[in-house]
Amino acid sequence: MSQFFYIHAQNPQPRLIAQSVDVLNKGGVIAYPTDSGYALGCRLEEKAAMERICRIRNLDNNHNFTLVCRDLSELSTYAWVDNAAFRLIKNNTPGNYTFILKATKEVPRRLMSEKRKTIGLRVPSNPIALDLLAALNEPLMSTTLILPGNDFAESDPEEIQESLGKQLDLVIHGGFLGQQPTTVIDLTGDAPVVVREGTGDPKPFL
């Protein structure tokens, strides 16, 4: 059964953040809070952990995994971004958006959409997620925790523990959250394309 940490939503306890990062560094899969429901996360280099996430969510090879970053300083390492796209991202982060971008060679092939060689990238505003990322000191390979057959992100950490506790290494209880996922913006073409409307306002990209 997974560990279950109660972490304060606004003032995360450093001790529990450090223990959460230790789980990730050991190859673990965690459920953690974001600003758009709960997500599953693991380290980029952990192939077995990513495969576990794929089984939990029943994902195929064309799924865009998301690199969750603490700020935009890591952007150019993992994605090709022109000046116009960078300004759009900068003006709307941190926030409830996932940006689809062309991946660089620094991104493991297994994390990309197989057909398009793209990667999702987002900068959350959730304090727990930001503290996790700061302590980990690298992006988190992540996907929204939407179970097969459902349309919404999981919002109740106790239900996550009950249904997925045997498949996860850690569930972080960071409060009961809204269920709507991020707004997804494709920035790989000449103009932004709103792929999915969610919690982020799509108007800046229309």
Helices (H), 34-91: 47-57, 75-78, 83-91
75-84, 88-97, 114-123: which has the minimum mean pLDDT?
Answer: 114-123
Residue 105 sits in a domain of what CATH number? 3.90.870.10
Q: What is the mean pLDDT of the chain?
A: 91
Q: In the chain, pLDDT over 70 holds for what percent of residues?
A: 97
- Looking at residue 179, what is its pLDDT? 66
Q: How many domains are there within the chain?
A: 1
Mean pLDDT of 20-29: 98
Q: Please give the radius of gyration of the chain, using alpha carbons only, rounded to the nearest integer.
A: 16
In order of 28, 39, 41, 156, the CA distances from 170 in angstroms are 8, 12, 10, 14
Q: How far apart are CA 77 and CA 64, in angstroms?
A: 17
> Per the domain annotation, does 64 fall within a domain?
yes
Mean pLDDT of 8-32: 97
Q: What is the dihedral of CA 140, 145, 146, 152, to 10 degrees?
A: -110
- Looking at residue 37, what is its pLDDT? 87
Q: Indicate the pLDDT class of residue 113, thresholds 50, 70 and 90.
A: low
Residue 73 has pLDDT above 70, yes or no: yes
For 54, the domain range is: 3-199
Cβ 172 vs Cβ 41: under 8 Å: no
> Per the domain annotation, does 132 fall within a domain?
yes
| DSSP 8-state code for residue 22 | H
> Per the domain annotation, does 204 fall within a domain?
no
- Looking at residue 199, what is its pLDDT? 85
> Per the domain annotation, does 205 fall within a domain?
no
**pTM, full prediction:** 0.91
pLDDT in tens, 148-178: 888 788 889 999 999 999 999 999 999 998 7
